[in-house]
Amino acid sequence: MFSLGSQYANTPRKGWADKFETTSQGKLEVRNGEFALWSIANNGSTEIFVDAYLHSRGISGVGSWKNDGTLYLEDNAASVTGQNTFCIAGNFINSGVLDASDAVKNGVTVASGQR
């Protein structure tokens, strides 16, 4: 398991990385802060907690997602992924905010295999 942020910190954290990949047994947790992972290959599971905000410019993989926070899909996804699609092929449970407004207005397709 890999965590961005900490449930034990009093102040929210910030950070970014260019690429992040989880394997089938891997897990990413995003909590207590604002983070950017420009390219995410999720083949395990990703969970965004209620106190977290995650930016991305490209999503791929067959892993599962649970969003209780905010997942923001950036408008320049095509320049990073080479295509105009955010593809969440696994389960996507969303009780938070999924903001694709900038991505969609610039012709990006947002698709999920299962909901």
Element at 80 (helix H, strand E):
helix 77-81
Length of the chain: 115
In this structure, are residues 84 and 77 in contact, taking their beta carbons and an 8 Å threshold? yes
The C-alpha atoms of residue 75 and residue 27 are separated, in whole angstroms, by 26
Q: Examine the pLDDT at 9 and tell me if it is beyond 50.
A: yes
| Rounded average pLDDT over 66-72 | 96
Residue 83's identity, in one-letter code, is: Q
| Rounded average pLDDT over 98-108 | 71
Q: Is the pTM of this model over 0.75?
A: yes
| Rounded average pLDDT over 22-34 | 95
Q: How confident is the model at residue 37 (pLDDT cuts 50, 70, 90)?
A: very high
pLDDT at residue 66, rounded to an integer = 96
- In this structure, what is the dihedral angle of CA atoms 101, 106, 107, 110, given to the nearest 10 degrees? -30
